[in-house]
């Protein structure tokens, strides 16, 4: 079994926020693989389905971002999952817009959702870091993260969500590096201008 988790905030007013790209990824996966409807469970919304023959659960915590760990830990403990069976999709300020980087464990990078998960079950889980870019000024971070994706962002957002779903079979097999490579290749082909625009990057934690 695989548990794919998207981080975000549950109210409709947050739906299009950059901070909710994790929810968007999970919704895209649910649609692409014809998952069942989302149901209230484990302090979140859960959908069941299969990816490449593997039973897979999708989880969107409804506890708000800074309490995501309550929902995640409840699901993980209920299904008795290991850290390798968990993948968390979330927004990453320190990656340029439209980038994906996979990693297991590591720091929390000031992300409240990760901090909450760490507090409830530790940090040794698989992560799909989805770049939303940095506004360039710490004072603007909150407005950037809780702001809606712009029209310009749509040029890379939809191709990214499509690429994330297209290569999930590698994620299911635990081949995170290959998954990352395939998504990057898709993005290079779909949005080549992203390769020339690295100005938003403060650092790449890889």
- Active site members: 19
Beta-bridge mates of residue 131: 92
CA distance 54 to 102: 20
- Cα separations in angstroms, 12 against 9, 30, 62, 67, 183: 9, 19, 12, 18, 28
CA distance 101 to 131: 8
Per-residue 3-state assignment (H helix, E strand, C coil) for 87-155: EEEEEECCCCCCCEEEEECCCCCCCHHHHHHHHHHCCCCEEEEEECCCCCCHHHHHHHHCCECCCCCHH
- Cα separations in angstroms, 29 against 44, 146, 159, 160: 17, 23, 13, 12
Other Cβ atoms closer than 10 A to 202: 12
Burial of 15 (0-12, 13-18, 19+ CB in 10 A): middle
């Amino acid at each position: 079994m695989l548990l794919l988790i998207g981080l975000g905030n549950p109210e409709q007013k947050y739906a299009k926020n950059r901070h909710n790209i994790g929810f968007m990824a999970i919704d895209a996966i649910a649609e692409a693989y014809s998952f069942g409807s989302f149901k209230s469970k484990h302090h979140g919304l859960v959908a069941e389905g299969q990816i490449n023959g593997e039973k897979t659960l999708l989880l969107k915590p409804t506890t708000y971002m800074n309490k995501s760990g309550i929902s995640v830990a409840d699901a993980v403990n209920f299904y008795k999952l290991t850290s390798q069976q968990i993948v968390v999709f979330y927004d990453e300020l320190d990656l340029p817009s439209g980038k994906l980087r996979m990693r297991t464990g590591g720091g929390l990078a000031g992300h409240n959702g990760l901090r909450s998960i760490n507090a409830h079950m530790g940090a040794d889980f698989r992560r799909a870091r989805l770049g939303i870019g940095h506004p360039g000024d710490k004072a603007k971070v909150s407005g950037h993260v809780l702001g809606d994706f712009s029209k310009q962002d749509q040029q890379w957002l939809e191709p990214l969500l499509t690429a994330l779903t297209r290569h999930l079979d590698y994620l299911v097999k635990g081949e995170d590096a290959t998954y990352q490579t395939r998504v990057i290749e898709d993005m290079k082909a779909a949005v080549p201008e992203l390769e020339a625009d690295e100005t938003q990057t403060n650092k790449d934690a890889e």
